[in-house]
Structure 1
Amino acid sequence: MPRPAVAWYGVTVLFVVQIFSFVDRQALSLLIAPIKADLGMSDTEVSLVIGLGFALAYAVAGLPIGRLVDRVSRPALLAAGLTLWCGCTFMCGFVRSFPQLALARSGVGIGEATGTPVVVSLLGDWFPPHRRGLAFAVFAVSAYVGTGLALVAGSAIVHAFDGISAVEAPLVGAVRTWQVVFLLIGPPGLLVIPFVLSLFEPRRSARARGRTAPASEAPGLSQVVAHYRRHWFAFTTQHAASTLLAMLFYGTGAWVPEFLRRTYGLPIAQGGLWFGLVTVVAGTVGVLAGGVISDRLIKAGRTDARLRVTGFAALGALPFAAAFPHAATPGLALVLAGGMIVFTAAISTTGSTGVQELAPARMRGTASAVYLFVFNGLGLSLGPTVFALLTDRAFGDEALLWRALAVGAPALAILAAMASFAGLRAYRTCVAANAAEAPPSLAHDAGPEAALATRA
C-alpha cells in the first residue's frame, strides 16, 4: 500500500472527479419544465432521460469496464471516461429532440461508468480494511457536494436567464437557455485529467519491481461465476438493499425541485438552490456517519457491519420518506427531505465497501461492475421512473406528484430494510469464506478474520 499521504492525495483527486460526475448527472433535474415545453415530453419521458437513458448505458458499459479495471491502468481508464462524459454533457447543449437528448445522456452514462469500478478498486489497494469505511465515506461526500453544486449552480443559471427563451452563444449561435447549462458545466471537468493521470497505480509499481503483470492477477470469468453461485444469497440481498435505497435517493432527488414548484408554487431556481444546500449538508453527515459507524462495528468484530448499517439506515429513512410529501410548508418539506437524505446517504459508503468484503481482492473490479450494473441499472434508472409512472398513470395529474412521492418513498425504504436484515447471515458466511481462502500474504487485506483463518 502507498504512504498515507499518497493515498489521501488520491482520495482528494477522486473526490473532485466525482463532483464533476454528479454535477453533469444531476443538473437535468432543474430543467424538467423547459425541456418538456421545448421538446414536447411527458413526465415519464423526462424520467427515462434522467434515469433509464443514462443508467442503462452506465450499467451495460460497466460490465466490460469492470473487467478492464482488473487488467489495465486504472488512472488512464478513468481519464478516458472523464473525457467522454464531459464531451457528451457539452453536446447536450445542442440537442433538438428527445432521441438526441437520450443519446447524449447515454454517452454521459458510458463515460461515468468508469468511475466507481476504478474508485472501488483503487481505494481497496490504497487502504487496509479497517480504514476503508472512512476513506470511502470521505470520497462519497463528493456525490452530495456534486449534487448540491449542480442544483445551486443550475439554479443560479436558471435565475439569471429567467424570462429569456434563447440566447446567442459565441461560436455556437442561438440556443435555448436550458441548453446553456450544459454548455457551461461540461468542459471544466477536463481540467482534472492531469491529476487523474498522476494517481498512484500499485500495479505499475509492481511491474517496475518485476512482479506479476496485471492481466494474470485478474481471475477468469468462470472463477467469478463460481464465487457468485456459492454466495448468491449474500450478493442478492446486499445488491437489493443498496439498489432499493438508491431508487429512493435518486428518485426523490430527481423530482423534489419539481415537487416544490408544483405543490407550493416555489420557483424552480429557489427550490433547486435550497434543495441543493440541504443535499450537501445532509448527504455529508449521512455518508460520513455510515463510514465511521460501520468501521467501528468492523473493528468490534461485526463482520456484517456494512449490511447491518444499511438496514438500520433504511429504517431511519422511513419516517422522513413518509412525512416530507405531506408537509404543510416548503421549508418543512425540505427539512424532512434532508432527514431522509441523512440516512439514504449511508449507502454511498456501505454499498461499495460491502462489495469489497463479499468479493476476493482479485475480483474487486469485476464485482463492483456487477454491483453497479444492478445498482444503476435498476436504482438510478427506475428510481425517477417509479414516481413519474405513479404521477402519470396511477394519479393522472402532474399536480399530484406529492401523492406519488408519499406512496413510493416509504415503500422503497421498507423493502430495503427487509432485504438488508434477510441477508445478514449469508453476508457473514461469505466474508468468513473469503477470509479463510485468503493466502497469508493477503491476510492483512481481508481483515481480522483472515488472520484467524491463516493461524488456524
Structure 2
Amino acid sequence: MRSAHKSAGPAPHHVHLNPLRLIEILLQQEKHWLNAIPRPRAILLLALTQGLASLNLAALGTVAPALESHLHIGNVAYGLLSTASILTGAAAALPVGILGDRQQRVPLLTKLILLWALAMLLSGISPGYDWFLITQMLAGAAGVSVGPVIASLSGDLFPPSWRGRAFGLIVGGELLGAGIGMILAGTINTLSNWRMVFVALAAMAILLAVLLWKGMREPERDNMNKLAAQLTQESAEHAPETTVSGKQPKRYLIEDIRKKSIQPVRKRILAEDPTQWHWLRAARTILSIPSNVILITASSAGYFYFTGLLAFGILYLTQRFHINTMAASTLFVGAGLGGIGGVVASGWIADFLLRRGLITARVWVTGIAFLLTIPFFLLALHTNRQVLEFIWLFMGSAALGATNPTLDAARLDIMHSRLWGRAEGIRISLRYILEAAAPFAFGWVSTHFSESYCHLQHCGDGYGLRISFEIFTVLLLVATLLMLTAIFTYPRDVATALFSQQVQKPRKP
C-alpha cells in the first residue's frame, strides 16, 4: 500500500530527464493519448488536404514514362513540369497567406481543393505538352498554397499544448499522399492509361472538398486572445478557473511563462491588429522575430535534403545494388514509411515534455531529430547490404520526418495569430524555391564525383550520388546548430507573441 500510494503521488521534477522512465510513461499513456485526440475529423480532413501537392508530384513520377511517350518529350521537358508546378505554388502561397489572415478559411480551403481538382481534370484531357504544363502550374498553385490556410486553421483549432500532436498527424498526410499517389497512379496506369490517373485524382479531390465543406466549421479567431489574456490578469494567479470536477485546467505554455517570469521583447509587442497591414509591413514584422528566422532556415535545410533524396534515392539504389527500378522503389518507399512514424512520434514527445514544464521542448526535439538524421544516413550510405541499407534509411527517414511537426507547432507559438497565414506563406515560398534547386544541386555535385574519378575498389557504382548525399548532410548539421541557438530566443518570442495578442481586440474575418 505504501508503494502504491507513493507511485500515485506527483512525479518528481527530474522524471522526464530519465530516458527509461520516459519510455515507460509514454507506453502507459499511449492508450489515453489515442482516445484523447481532439477534433479527429478536422485532423483527417486537413491531413488529406495537406497531401495534395505531394500526391500530384508522386503521380507525375509514376506515369513519367507514359507521359514522355504520349507527349513526345524528353527528361528535360518532363523535369520542367515538376519545377514549374513547385515554383508556381511558391509564388501563390504569398497571396493565399494574406487571404488566410483576412477571410474565412474553410471556404477558402474548399475553393483551393476544387481548383486543384479542375487542374487534375484538365491535365487528364491535355492535347499536348504546352496544355499539360499550364495545368500543372495551376495544380501547383492550388496544391502548395493550401499550406498557409491549414497552418492558420490549425492554430485556432488546437491549443498550444496539443499542436505538436495535431501537426504530427496532419504533416503525416503529406507523406501519406506521396505513397497513395505512387500506388494509385501505378495501378490505374497499368489497368487503363495515364489520363485516367488524373481524372481519378480529380474525382477524389471533389469528394474531399464536399467532405471539408460539410464536415468542418470555421473556428473562432480569438482563441489565442483568450489564452493570452490569462498571462497578465492578476486574478488568474489567485483565483484560477476550475472545472466541474474541481481540478484546475492547465494552460501549459501560459503557466510556464508566468511561473518562470519570462519577459517579452517590449519593442516587438504589437500595438494594433495586424490583419489589414500592408504585405511588406507584415513581412518585416514576421522576419524580425529571431526564432522565426531560425526555424525557417532550419526547416528549409531539412526540406532541401529531403528533396534531393526524393529525386535521386531510387536511382542511387539501382546503381548501388544493381537492382531494377521496381525493387528499388519498393525499398525506398518502405524505408520512407519511417517518416510517418517520425512525424507522429515527435509531436507527441514534444507535447509531453511541454506538459512536464520544458518550454523549449519543441526546439530540443527538433534539434535532436536533425542531429540523429546525420549518422543514420551516413550509415546507410556506407553499407553493402540491402537489409542494413533499409534499416538505416528507415531510421533516417523517421528522424528527418520528426523535425516537421515540432517546427510547424513552434512557428505558431511565436507568431501573432492574425499573421499565421502570411508567416506560413513566406516560409512555404522560401521552402519550395530551395526545393526547386535541390535536384540540380545534388545532380551537379554527383557529376563531379563520378566513378571514373575514383580508382579505389570500394567506390563502386553510385559513388557520385553517395558523395553528394554525404556532402549535403552539412545542411543537417547547420540545422542542428541553428536549433541550439533558438533555445535562447524561443521563450521570449513566445511571450512577446502572447502579449501582442491581448493588446488589441480581434476583428471578425
TM-score (norm 1): 0.79
Distance of 1:313 and 1:105 partners within structure 2: 34
Report the secondary structure of 1:423's partner residue.
Answer: helix
Distance 2:365 2:68 in 1: 39
Output one character per residue of 1:258-280: Cα deviation in whole Å (capped at 9) or x when no partner: 33334334333343334333323
Partner of 1:196: 212
Shift of the 334–401 alpha-carbon distance from structure 1 to 2, 3 Å rule, reads: farther
Taking the aligned partners of 1:53 and 1:136, their CA distance within structure 2 comes to 28
Unaligned runs of 5+ in 1: 162-168, 170-176, 207-215, 443-456
Query: 1:250-399 to 2 correspondence within 5 Å?
Result: 250-280=307-337, 282-378=338-434, 380-392=435-447, 395=450
Cα distance in 2 for partners of 1:416, 1:47 equals 28
| Native 8 Å contact 2:373 2:476 kept in 1 | yes
Tell me how large the CA RMSD over aligned residues is.
3.3
1:211 aligns with none
| Greater displacement, 126-135 / 406-415 | 406-415
Q: CA deviation at 1:352?
A: 1.7
SS at match of 1:349: helix
- Structure 1 position 413 matched with structure 2 position 481: no
Check conservation: 1:259, 1:401, Cα contact below 8 A: no
In the alignment, what sits opposite 1:132? 163
**Of 217, 235, 238, which aligns to 2:292?**
235
Which of the residues 428, 431, 437 maps onto 2:494?
A: 431
Q: CA deviation at 1:6?
A: 7.8
The corresponding residue for 1:224 is 282
Counterpart check, 1:41 vs 2:70: no
Distance 1:89 1:261 in 2: 31
CA contact (8 A) 1:283 1:345 kept: yes
Contact between 1:59 and 1:377, CA under 8 Å: does it hold in 2?
A: yes
- For residues 154 and 117 of structure 2, the distance between their equivalents in structure 1, rounded to whole angstroms, comes to 24
Verify: 1:23 aligned to 2:55, yes or no. Answer: yes
Rounded Cα–Cα distance in structure 1 between residues aligned with 2:78 and 2:410: 32
Could you tell me how far apart the structure 1 residues matched to 2:318 and 2:124 are? 24
- Distance apart, 1:417 and its partner CA: 1.4
Q: In the aligned structure 2, how far is the partner of 1:92 from the partner of 1:431?
A: 44
Which residue number in structure 2 is paired with residue 451 of structure 1?
A: none
Query: Normalising to structure 2: TM-score of the pair?
Result: 0.71
- 2:393 and 2:86 map into 1 onto residues whose CA distance is 24
Q: Deviations over 1:406-432 (max 9, x none)?
A: 334423322221222233322333122
Does the 8 A contact of 2:102 with 2:276 survive in 1?
Answer: no
1:134–1:295 contact (8 Å) kept in structure 2: yes
Deviation by residue 1:297-341 (Cα, 9 ceiling, x = unmatched): 323343333233222111111012223234324443333221111
Number of the residue aligned with 2:179: 148
| Aligned amino acid, residue 41 of structure 1 | G
Report how far residue 12 of structure 1 moved.
Answer: 1.8
Q: Is the 8 A contact 1:133 1:295 kept in 2?
A: yes
* Residues 172-191 of structure 1: per-residue CA shift (max 9 Å, x gap): xxxxx555544443432211
Once residues 99 and 363 of structure 2 are traced to their aligned partners in structure 1, the CA distance between those partners, rounded to angstroms, is: 27
Q: Match of 1:70, as an amino acid?
A: D
Per-residue deviation, 1:61: 0.4
Q: Is the Cα–Cα contact under 8 Å of residues 47 and 385 in structure 1 kept in the other structure?
A: no
Amino acid corresponding to residue 365 of structure 1 in structure 2: G
Alignment CA distance shift 1:90-1:329 (3 Å): farther
What amino acid sits opposite 2:143 in the alignment?
Answer: E
146, 152, 155: which is aligned to 1:121?
Answer: 152
Measure the CA separation in 2 of the matches of 1:130 and 1:366. Answer: 23
Counterpart residue type for residue 360 of structure 1: H
Partner AA of 2:205 in structure 1: G
> % of aligned pairs identical?
21
- Written as runs of structure 1 = structure 2, the 5 A alignment for 1:71-220 is 71-93=102-124, 101-156=132-187, 160=190, 181-198=197-214, 199-203=216-220, 218-220=275-277
Structure number having the greater helix percentage: 1
Structure 2 unpaired stretches of 5+: 1-35, 224-272, 453-460
1:41-99: CA deviations, max 9, x gaps?
Answer: 34x7655543x322211111001000101122211111121122233234444557765
